[in-house]
A and B are shown apart, each in its own frame.
Chain A
Amino acid sequence: MKKIYTFLRVTRVLVLIAAFSLMMVPTGQAAEPVKVSVLTDMSGPYAGITAANVEAAKLAIEDFGGKLLGQDIEFVARDNMCKADVANQKAKELYEKEKVDVIFDCPNSAAGLAVSNQALLHKRLFVSIGSGTTRHTGPDCNRYTFDWAYNDYMMATAVGLWAAENLGKRWYTITADYAWGHDLFEHFTHALKSKGGTLLGNDMVALGTSDFSPYIIKAKNADPDVLVLLNAGKDAVNATKQAREFGLKKTAKIIHALLFIEGIKAVGDVFADDYVTGAWYWKSKNPGSREFVNKWQTKFNKPPNWMNAATYSAVTQYLKAVDRVGSKAPEAVIKALEGHTFNDLLADPGYIRPEDHMQVGSAYILRAKKSKEVTEAWDFFEIIDEIPAEKAYMDAAKTDCEMGGF
């Protein structure tokens, strides 16, 4: 009897093993899970804004249900340290070793362009969010790269056109003296010229300048209606603080190239009554926006910024595209994304232009509130106006993009 029991026990184990290994046998394409990655600045100068994009992507996967093509969606995140060489290396690793299907984000334009190149080499997708250069959808466009939510042209044009109409046509610009600043300067002045305004003067200022007073004095002397500050982070705070100190804020309105709720939270009233373009704001009434913000608030005790929302939207739209075609093959997914129209928290409606792979939606004109106007925590902006995508983005026919094949 004992022998029979032993025999039965062994058989049971064998059967279990057999059954288990049957379950493990790969069944065609579907066996490989979809692997999503975020490559963003987690320790460099933009970390305060972009590090949370990792959480946004995770939340998007979670809200999607966590499963796609019958498998759990896999996720990895890497730090680009805001450096192009690091981004290039990490992108290579992500595509080759981690075998990811798509990379999202990658702030710093040089870093973004490096990743775009890796995407083309590896024939896998890259969705640019953080890097604002128009080259992604211009001369350096390729079939595998998409640009989500904004670019420098849109940031400059939306608030630029609006300011020329509503704040005044005599401008003075102070520009950060590197590629990003020069790019924005071109787009801002283009917007100004198209409205028949005049540029009273521009100063190219070295990155990391701590005292802007000589430039502010020059600007004040020119007596503009609008002072355009084309710098970011520490430089933007310094320039704005000193413009207020010299009384320039009393005679002119200030518009910025880039401003986030975190930046306003950090320095208080400095930016009060200044204007900027936003791709989204957490008070947005787009479908799903409220739910996203609520979830984010309970998790992180603060609302998301528009980069976070853009990441959530991009990841969601990618997963949906894979789901629509029933395959994660890059060609099929790219074709499903090209020309696709959607309505989500970020864009209502959003459209992915097939000509240059720019995801377009309307742009918001935001005014930074004075601290006494802020009645709800983190509600630092007032949505003043909404600029439709056709006005905010460069015409797809004019972008210098020659979209290649696969």
Chain B
Amino acid sequence: MNAQLVLTQLFNGLILGSIYVLLSLGLSIIFGMLGVINFAHGAFYMLGAYVAYTIVTYVFPNFWLALFLAPIIMALFGAACEFFLLRRLYKLPIIYNVLFTFGLMLVFQDSMRMIFGSMGVPFNTPESLVGAVNLGFTYYPTYRLFMIIVTALCSLGVWLFLTRTRLGAIIRAGTDNSAMVDALGINISRIFTLVFALGIGLAGLAGVLAAPIQNVTHLMGMDFLIDCFVVVVIGGMGSIAGSIIGGLIVGQIIAAGIIIWPPIANTLIYLFMATFLLIRPRGLFGREGFHE
């Protein structure tokens, strides 16, 4: 075990965390605002990858176009899901939307299996990002560096949007007390649609970003979903900073686990979560009385 390998692993953990950040960010703001535990989040991520594949293969063979279009298409699709389906469940106990989004996930997965088959579809790294960059301590794939830049920009963008804009202020207010915001004359249901669209758009973006380095199959979201719940729980329900820090922590834990003892790497995040919750039951940035 040498220092260079450890450094490389920790750096890689950072990048591993970036996909978690994008996914948990959406999961967290949807939960914070709508009170919906979105079990279909991983499936939306998977759909993002398939939309990108469809664009690259059948519309115009350009990764950048797909990177730009797929999240927008997914956001619109998310908005439609919220407007036509999810909206009907807000007044019912939370178990209804858990069951509903779980069902939605199965529907999405099986439709992709029926259309594209169970073996997955090909997706290549864009030509301009093939290769590796010398970081001094290691050669690292250019594409992964690009991923972390996109994630950082998106996280920053979402954070600025929520803290520095009027709309963001309304969303934050709505997260605290949606009935009050409604009473102040703001159309809260439109805000709900917007938040859901934003969350799904981020999941879609994560899907496109992951497509070149992962097997694009109908099940690709499954493994990530559970990890993302761990991130949200560690970070604190509904907190943006929590998702970002939580995502990066989980990435680091996996990387560290693999250095220490690989078989425990995947279990380690659950151990960490359990211990963490004993000490801080609300997670890193969870607020008292929020969805409790």
Give A residues with C-beta under 8 Å from B.
45, 47-48, 177, 203-206, 208-211, 213-215, 217-218, 221, 233-234, 237-238, 241-242, 245-247, 262-263, 265-270
- Please pick, from B15, B119, B213, B254, the residue contacting A48 in the complex, using a CB distance under 8 A: B119
Complex CA–CA separation, A206 to B263 (angstroms):
7
In the assembled complex, B8 has its CB within 8 A of some CB on chain A = yes
Query: Closest CB-CB distance, A172 to chain B, in whole Å?
Result: 13
Q: Which residues does chain B contribute within 8 Å of A263, judged by CB atoms?
A: 119
Which of A206, A208, A214, A246 has most B Cβ within 10 Å? A214
8 of the cross-chain contacts (CB-CB < 8 Å) are A213-B12, A214-B16, A233-B119, A237-B120, A242-B213, A262-B119, A267-B122, A269-B122
Complex CA–CA separation, A238 to B263 (angstroms):
18
Report whether B141 and A211 are in contact in the complex, using a CB–CB cutoff of 8 Å: no
- Please pick, from A48, A205, A208, A266, the residue contacting B223 in the complex, using a CB distance under 8 A: A208
- Please pick, from A218, A221, A238, A265, the residue contacting B119 in the complex, using a CB distance under 8 A: A265
In the assembled complex, B111 has its CB within 8 A of some CB on chain A = no
Report whether A217 and B5 are in contact in the complex, using a CB–CB cutoff of 8 Å: yes
Q: Which residues does chain B contribute within 8 Å of A247, judged by CB atoms?
A: 132, 139, 141
Q: Pick the interface stretch among B33-41, B59-67, B72-80, B214-222.
A: B214-222
Chain A to chain B: the 6 pairs with minimum beta-carbon distance, closest first: A268-B122, A266-B119, A237-B215, A214-B258, A206-B266, A203-B262
Complex CA–CA separation, A48 to B16 (angstroms):
30
In the assembled complex, B121 has its CB within 8 A of some CB on chain A = yes
- Please pick, from B19, B121, B220, the residue contacting A266 in the complex, using a CB distance under 8 A: B121
Q: Which B residues, 256 to 271, have Cβ-Cβ distances below 8 Å to chain A?
A: 258-259, 262-263, 265-266
Report whether B223 and A209 are in contact in the complex, using a CB–CB cutoff of 8 Å: yes
Q: Which B residues, 1 to 22, have Cβ-Cβ distances below 8 Å to chain A?
A: 4-5, 8-9, 12-13, 15-16, 19
In the assembled complex, B159 has its CB within 8 A of some CB on chain A = no
Complex CA–CA separation, A267 to B217 (angstroms):
10
User: Known: A203-B262, A234-B215. Contact between A267 and B121, CB under 8 A?
Assistant: yes
Report whether A238 and B143 are in contact in the complex, using a CB–CB cutoff of 8 Å: no
Q: Which residues does chain B contribute within 8 Å of A47, judged by CB atoms?
A: 118
Q: Which residues does chain A contribute within 8 Å of B213, judged by CB atoms?
A: 211, 213, 241-242, 245
Query: Closest CB-CB distance, A285 to chain B, in whole Å?
Result: 28
Report whether B122 and A214 are in contact in the complex, using a CB–CB cutoff of 8 Å: no
Report whether A245 and B266 are in contact in the complex, using a CB–CB cutoff of 8 Å: no
Complex CA–CA separation, A139 to B115 (angstroms):
43
Complex CA–CA separation, A372 to B16 (angstroms):
33
B interface residue count range (under 10 / 10 to 19 / 20 to 34 / 35 or more): 35 or more
Complex CA–CA separation, A238 to B120 (angstroms):
11
- Please pick, from B122, B222, B254, B263, the residue contacting A270 in the complex, using a CB distance under 8 A: B122
Report whether A267 and B215 are in contact in the complex, using a CB–CB cutoff of 8 Å: yes
- Please pick, from B12, B219, B262, the residue contacting A205 in the complex, using a CB distance under 8 A: B262
Report whether B122 and A266 are in contact in the complex, using a CB–CB cutoff of 8 Å: yes
Find the B residue at minimum CB distance from A216. Answer: B12
Q: Which residues does chain B contribute within 8 Å of A205, judged by CB atoms?
A: 262
Give B residues with C-beta under 8 Å from A.
4-5, 8-9, 12-13, 15-16, 19, 117-122, 124-125, 132, 138-139, 141, 143-144, 212-215, 217, 219-220, 222-224, 254-255, 258-259, 262-263, 265-266
Find the A residue at minimum CB distance from B257. Answer: A214
Report whether A210 and B214 are in contact in the complex, using a CB–CB cutoff of 8 Å: yes
Query: Closest CB-CB distance, A304 to chain B, in whole Å?
Result: 16
Find the B residue at minimum CB distance from A202. Answer: B262
- Please pick, from B118, B220, B255, B262, the residue contacting A45 in the complex, using a CB distance under 8 A: B118
Report whether B266 and A48 are in contact in the complex, using a CB–CB cutoff of 8 Å: no
Complex CA–CA separation, A255 to B42 (angstroms):
31
Complex CA–CA separation, A213 to B17 (angstroms):
12
Complex CA–CA separation, A48 to B141 (angstroms):
32
Complex CA–CA separation, A45 to B117 (angstroms):
11
Query: Closest CB-CB distance, B226 to chain A, in whole Å?
Result: 10
Report whether B224 and A210 are in contact in the complex, using a CB–CB cutoff of 8 Å: yes
Complex CA–CA separation, A99 to B170 (angstroms):
69
Q: Which residues does chain A contribute within 8 Å of B119, judged by CB atoms?
A: 48, 233, 262-263, 265-267
Query: Closest CB-CB distance, A239 to chain B, in whole Å?
Result: 9
Query: Closest CB-CB distance, A266 to chain B, in whole Å?
Result: 4
Find the B residue at minimum CB distance from A217. Answer: B8
Query: Closest CB-CB distance, A372 to chain B, in whole Å?
Result: 14
Q: A211-B16, A266-B119 are in contact. List 9 more A-B contacts (CB 8 A).
A: A206-B265, A208-B223, A210-B220, A221-B8, A237-B214, A241-B212, A242-B213, A245-B144, A247-B132
Report whether B219 and A234 are in contact in the complex, using a CB–CB cutoff of 8 Å: yes
Q: Which residues does chain A contribute within 8 Å of B12, judged by CB atoms?
A: 213-214, 217
Query: Closest CB-CB distance, B85 to chain A, in whole Å?
Result: 27
- Please pick, from B9, B217, B220, the residue contacting A217 in the complex, using a CB distance under 8 A: B9
Which of B144, B212, B223 has most A Cβ within 10 Å? B223
- Please pick, from B4, B120, B262, the residue contacting A267 in the complex, using a CB distance under 8 A: B120
Complex CA–CA separation, A215 to B12 (angstroms):
11
Complex CA–CA separation, A218 to B262 (angstroms):
11
Query: Closest CB-CB distance, A354 to chain B, in whole Å?
Result: 38
Report whether B215 and A238 are in contact in the complex, using a CB–CB cutoff of 8 Å: yes
Q: Which residues does chain A contribute within 8 Å of B8, judged by CB atoms?
A: 217, 221
Find the B residue at minimum CB distance from A239. Answer: B215
Q: Which residues does chain A contribute within 8 Å of B16, judged by CB atoms?
A: 211, 213-214
Complex CA–CA separation, A214 to B262 (angstroms):
10
Complex CA–CA separation, A207 to B222 (angstroms):
12
Which of A48, A213, A247 has most B Cβ within 10 Å? A213
Q: Which residues does chain B contribute within 8 Å of A269, judged by CB atoms?
A: 122, 124
Q: Which residues does chain A contribute within 8 Å of B219, judged by CB atoms?
A: 234
